[in-house]
Amino acid sequence: MVSYLQVCWVFLSLLAAALGQQDGIQTIFGHPTYSKLRPCAQNCFYFHLGAPVTYLRDILGSKMGCPMVRTTSITSVQAAENDCFCRADLQASAQAVLTQCIMSRCNQNENDAVTAGAMYGGYCSANGLQRAPSLSYD
Which tens digits make up the pLDDT trace of 29-52? 888 899 999 999 999 998 877 666
Residues in contact with 138: Cβ distance below 8 Å, sequence separation at least 6, in sequence order: none
Say yes or no to pLDDT of 106 above 70.
Answer: yes
Say yes or no to pLDDT of 76 above 50.
Answer: yes
Task: Give the whole-angstrom CA distance, residue 93 versus residue 134.
Answer: 12
